[in-house]
């Protein structure tokens, strides 16, 4: 059975009905994971999600900030959340998919503007969450686990994941300390970067373009902040991956675009 999974930072789900409809129409994922839904659970647009064909869902939100959601055309089981850094942020949802696949939907803190944990509490929070996640996955590692980790990880690790490696080395999302922390998280369970298994690491690839750019496509000052990883036990199921760049130019766009993988399970 083919299983397609898409991740997308919606940047406020209630403002994104047009692109959400196009994602469903053009990508047609079996599972769609959102980050930055920015709405408490009681005000989530459940009617729209049902209309779009997702009978199963799990939402974990809060008013005005953060928030993650999992929509599925197939049953979800054992859905739960994790709290990190002792903070009641809605940043991590876990569900079990068909075939016993464990899905982790994550929204890592952006980290503010100053890449110094002593001067910037937001950056310190980002590093702390990455450290806690790494420790948790390492402590609970099971090499038989078939799992997906995805979402807006807010770090562009490769030189080809940013428009200018040299100019962004001191900019939050591509600093060496963040890249090292993301590498530690990836190593914690031997996670495979599914998108870069399909799209060569030598190729420039972005999933986010700032709203500040007058012409995002012409300037192309993007970063690859949105990721889909697979455990080694699941990686052989990977068949395809894609980043839907053109979605950045749709009506009422998010500053992120959808990232999709296809698995044979």
> How does residue 128 score in pLDDT terms, banded at 50, 70 and 90?
very high
With beta carbons less than 8 A apart as the criterion, state whether 3 and 263 touch: yes
| pLDDT for 264 | 97
Query: Taking the complete model, does pTM exceed 0.85, yes or no?
Result: yes
> How does residue 190 score in pLDDT terms, banded at 50, 70 and 90?
very high
Query: Sign of the C-alpha dihedral, residues 131, 155, 226, 254?
Result: positive
| Pairing relationship of beta strands 56-60 and 192-193 according to DSSP bridges | unpaired
What are the residue boundaries of the structural domains of the chain, listed by start? 2-264
With beta carbons less than 8 A apart as the criterion, state whether 3 and 31 touch: yes
Cross-strand partners of 72: 31, 56
247 phi and psi angles, rounded to 5 deg? -65, -20
CATH code of the region 2-264 = 3.60.10.10
| Percentage with pLDDT > 70 across the chain | 100
| pLDDT for 119 | 97
pLDDT digits (tens, 9 = 90+) for 75-115: 999 999 999 999 989 999 999 998 899 999 999 999 999 99
| Pairing relationship of beta strands 31-35 and 68-72 according to DSSP bridges | antiparallel
pLDDT digits (tens, 9 = 90+) for 141-164: 999 999 999 999 999 999 999 999
| pLDDT for 263 | 98
| pLDDT for 203 | 98
Query: Sign of the C-alpha dihedral, residues 86, 127, 57, 36?
Result: positive
- pLDDT above 90 for 214: no
| pLDDT for 121 | 97
d(CA 134, CA 241) in angstroms, rounded, equals 25
- pLDDT above 90 for 248: yes
| pLDDT for 212 | 93
pLDDT digits (tens, 9 = 90+) for 23-36: 999 999 999 999 99
> How does residue 19 score in pLDDT terms, banded at 50, 70 and 90?
very high
| pLDDT for 85 | 97
> How does residue 15 score in pLDDT terms, banded at 50, 70 and 90?
very high
pLDDT digits (tens, 9 = 90+) for 26-83: 999 999 999 999 999 999 999 999 999 999 999 999 999 999 999 999 999 999 999 9
pLDDT digits (tens, 9 = 90+) for 225-240: 999 999 999 999 999 9
> Quick check: helix, strand or coil at residue 193?
strand
Residue 177 class from Cβ within 10 Å (0-12 exposed, 13-18 middle, 19+ buried)?
middle
């Amino acid at each position: 059975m083919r299983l397609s999974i898409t991740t997308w930072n919606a940047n406020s789900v209630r403002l994104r009905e047009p692109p959400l409809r196009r994602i469903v129409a053009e990508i047609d994922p079996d599972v769609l994971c959102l980050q930055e839904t920015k709405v408490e659970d009681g005000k989530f647009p459940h009617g729209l999600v049902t209309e779009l064909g997702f009978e199963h869902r799990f939402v974990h939100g809060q008013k005005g900030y953060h928030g993650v959601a999992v929509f599925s055309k197939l049953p979800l089981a054992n859905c739960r959340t994790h709290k990190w850094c002792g903070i009641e942020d809605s940043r991590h949802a876990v569900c079990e998919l068909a075939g016993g696949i464990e899905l982790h939907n994550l929204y890592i803190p952006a980290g503010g503007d100053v890449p110094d944990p002593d001067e910037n509490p937001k950056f310190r929070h980002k590093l702390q969450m990455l450290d806690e996640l790494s420790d948790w996955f390492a402590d609970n590692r099971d090499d038989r686990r078939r799992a997906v980790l995805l979402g807006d990880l807010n770090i562009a690790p490769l030189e080809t994941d940013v428009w200018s490696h040299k100019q962004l080395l001191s900019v939050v999302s591509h600093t060496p300390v963040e890249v090292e922390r993301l590498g530690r998280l990836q190593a914690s369970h031997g996670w495979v970067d599914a998108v870069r298994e399909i799209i060569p690491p030598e190729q420039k690839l972005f999933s986010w373009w700032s709203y500040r750019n007058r012409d995002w496509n012409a300037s192309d000052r993007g970063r690859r902040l949105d990721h889909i990883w697979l455990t080694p036990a699941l990686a052989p199921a990977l068949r395809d991956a894609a980043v839907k760049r053109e979605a950045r130019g749709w009506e009422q766009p998010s500053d992120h675009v959808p990232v999709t993988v296809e698995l044979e399970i």
